[in-house]
Amino acid sequence: MKLYTAAFAPNPERVRMFLNEKGISDIEMVEMNIMEREHKAKDYRAVSPFAQIPALELGDGRVLTESRAICRYLEGLYPEPNLFGKTGEETAFIEMWDRRMEFMFLLPLAWWIRHGHPAFTVIEQQIAELAPRGEKTFRYFAKWLDGELADRDFVAGDRFTIADITAFASVGFARVAKWKPDADALPHLTAWRARMLERPCGQK
C-alpha cells in the first residue's frame, strides 16, 4: 500500500496520527508538497480525482480517498487498538463526536485559514468574508468543547478514539492561525492537548 500524504496539512495528519496510534509502519509514504501544488499535477489527479490529500493506493491499484474512510479501512486490517468503536452503539457515539470535530471544528478552521491567510492564495480562491465567519465558529466551538472536556479525558468518552485524532489535528492546524488553547480561558482543552502531545499521535 502507498499513502500520499503532506506534512502539516490536517487531513493527512489525521491518517498519520492514526498510523502512529496503531503502530502501523509497513505502508509506503509518498510526501506531497501542497504549497508547491504537487497535488495539482496530472499524475496525481489520476490518483485522486479532486486532487486532495491523503489518498491510499491499495495493493490491487484501487485508491481510497477521504481520511475517515482510509482510517476505517486500516482499522479493518489492524483492529487493535480499536479507535472506531466495538459495539454498534459505541460506534454511533464515536461517529457523532468525530463528525462534530470534523464539521464544527476543523471545517470552520479551514475557512479561517484558507480564506484568510495570504500564503493560501496558492491553492484557494479566497472569499474574504469566510475567514472571520470560520474564526468565529471555530472559537465558539473550542469554548464549547472545553466545557465538554471538563469531566472526561477524551472527546468521545472514556477512551482515546478517532474523534480525538480529528480534534487534535484541528488544534495542530490552528497554529497556522497563531491559535492554541489558552490555559486560563480553555483549561480543559489545554490539558487534553497536553495529554495528546504525550501519546503516539503527538509524535512525528
Ligand X SMILES: N[C@@H](CCC(=O)N[C@@H](CS)C(=O)NCC(=O)O)C(=O)O
Alpha-carbon 156 to chain mean position: 15
Q: What whole-number distance in Å separates Cα of residue 138 and Cα of residue 34? A: 23
Q: What whole-number distance in Å separates Cα of residue 69 and Cα of residue 144? A: 27
Exposed, middle or buried by CB within 10 Å (0-12, 13-18, 19+), for 200? middle
Is residue 53 involved in binding ligand X (CB under 6 A)? yes
Q: What whole-number distance in Å separates Cα of residue 179 and Cα of residue 33? A: 23
Is the CB of 24 or the CB of 123 nearer to ligand X?
123
Look at residues 60, 16, 9, 18 and name the one whose alpha carbon lies nearest to residue 39: 9
Is residue 170 involved in binding ligand X (CB under 6 A)? no
Look at residues 91, 97, 87, 64 and name the one whose alpha carbon lies nearest to residue 165: 97
Candidates 5-13, 19-27, 153-161, 176-184: pick the segment binding ligand X (CB under 6 A).
Answer: 5-13
Cα atoms found within 13 Å of the Cα of residue 86, Cβ hemisphere only: 5
Candidates 49-57, 138-146, 159-167, 184-192: pick the segment binding ligand X (CB under 6 A).
Answer: 49-57
Is the CB of 113 or the CB of 149 nearer to ligand X?
113
- In the structure grid, which three cell numbers stand for residue 77, read together? 486490517
Candidates 51-59, 136-144, 174-182, 188-196: pick the segment binding ligand X (CB under 6 A).
Answer: 51-59
Among 3, 17, 34, 201, contact with ligand X (rule: CB under 6 A) = 34
Is the CB of 14 or the CB of 193 nearer to ligand X?
14
Is residue 64 involved in binding ligand X (CB under 6 A)? no
Among 3, 9, 47, 74, contact with ligand X (rule: CB under 6 A) = 9
Candidates 50-58, 79-87, 130-138, 186-194: pick the segment binding ligand X (CB under 6 A).
Answer: 50-58
Pairing of strands 28-31, 63-65: unpaired
Q: Which of the residues 80 through 139 are near ligand X (CB under 6 A)? A: 123
Are residues 26 and 51 in contact, defined by beta-carbon separation less than 8 angstroms?
Answer: no
In angstroms, what is the minimal distance from the CB of 6 to ligand X?
Answer: 6
* Interacting residues toward ligand X by CB under 6 A: 9-11, 34, 39, 51-54, 66-67, 123
